[in-house]
Amino acid sequence: MSAVAPPRRLWLIGCGNMAGAMLSRWLDSGTIAASDVDVVNRHDCGLPGNVRQARTLPDGPRPDLVMLGMKPQQIDEVVAAYGDRIVQAPVLVSILAGVEETTLAERFPGPAIVRAMPNLPVALGKGVVALHARAAPAAVKQSVAALMAPLGLVEWTDDEAMFGAIGTLEGCGPAFLFRFIDALAKAGEALGLAHDQAARLALTTVDGAAAMAAQADATPATLADRVASPGGSTRQGLNVLDRDEALVKLLTQTLAAAERRGREMAAEAKR
């Protein structure tokens, strides 16, 4: 069976950091051409590949796919301005955090709807894209998956509640890891390292460790124990992180707070 091709003509409603990261990778990978993309932005911003951008949708034939990339609270504004055009598209992809499929279907009746939750490393082709579609046909799901494939790992879930949980982990996760890298560098400074040196060492250490974990035949927990010799300095440090599951508890609280806000945004979008 031949592979399903990704959509060719795209309209992007909003193109901030996340949508811009996706667009950059699609262009770099040759998945889509700049000439096949139109962006509607409130204000011009730097877009890759000289992609067209304007304050309104272009005249001419409908696109293969519309992607909503504005802020979730702008959804009703977008419906009022472009809803009659968007509903003519065959496929609608939303990267709006917290806006559920039923809410999207109410605002945009007609297109097959797919929710997507990417993270910023998609710009490098090393991201994660969570996907959920309850009512979209199989062919649409395959086409959207083909579009997302160059961005990194694509994960489908049939459970929209779990889509929120997946999106919290992978969508918010890079920010939490960036904070960890910064904290590791500051801890190095506390040992007497220069600021710039500590920053380089922390970043490169995390980069190398992540690459090793991705290629290993063991879990990260096992890898940590392999590094830590009994009675050694690494073990002493791990004892601090492991005491009363301090690190696990901290990250559990962190993800719970982020997911709770996602549920709040979903409720706000229904009003």
Tens digit of each residue's pLDDT (9 = 90 or more) over 235-258: 999 999 999 999 999 999 999 999
- Local confidence band at 46 (pLDDT 50, 70, 90 cut-offs): confident
Alpha carbon 256 to its chain's center: 18
Q: What is the pLDDT of residue 4?
A: 82
Q: What is the pLDDT of residue 265?
A: 82
Residues carrying CATH 1.10.3730.10, the chain: 168-264
Res. 169: pLDDT tops 50:
yes
As a whole number of angstroms, the distance between CA 125 and CA 116 comes to 16
Could you tell me if 187 and 241 are in contact, meaning their C-beta atoms sit under 8 angstroms apart?
A: no
Mean pLDDT of 204-210: 96
Mean pLDDT over each residue of the chain, to the nearest integer = 93
- Selecting from 1.10.238.10, 1.10.3730.10, 3.30.1280.10, 3.40.50.300, what CATH number does the domain 168-264 have? 1.10.3730.10
Closest CA to 199 of 184, 215, 179: 184
Q: Class of the 10-156 domain?
A: alpha beta
As a whole number of angstroms, the distance between CA 260 and CA 231 comes to 40
Residues carrying CATH 3.40.50.720, the chain: 10-156
Q: What is the pLDDT of residue 85?
A: 94
Q: What's the half-sphere exposure (Cβ side, CA atoms, 13 Å) at 132?
A: 24
Mean pLDDT of 31-41: 93
Query: Tell me: the pLDDT tens digits for 67-100?
Result: 999 988 899 999 999 999 999 999 999 999 889 9
Query: Tell me: the pLDDT tens digits for 120-140?
Result: 999 999 999 999 999 899 999
- Local confidence band at 26 (pLDDT 50, 70, 90 cut-offs): very high
Share of the chain above pLDDT 70, in %: 99
Q: What is the pLDDT of residue 161?
A: 86
Res. 1: pLDDT tops 70:
no
Residue 81: Cβ within 10 Å count: 16
Q: What is the pLDDT of residue 2?
A: 46
Q: What is the pLDDT of residue 150?
A: 97
As a whole number of angstroms, the distance between CA 96 and CA 75 comes to 9
Q: Give the range among 22-31, 37-46, 71-80, 179-188 with minimum mean pLDDT.
A: 37-46
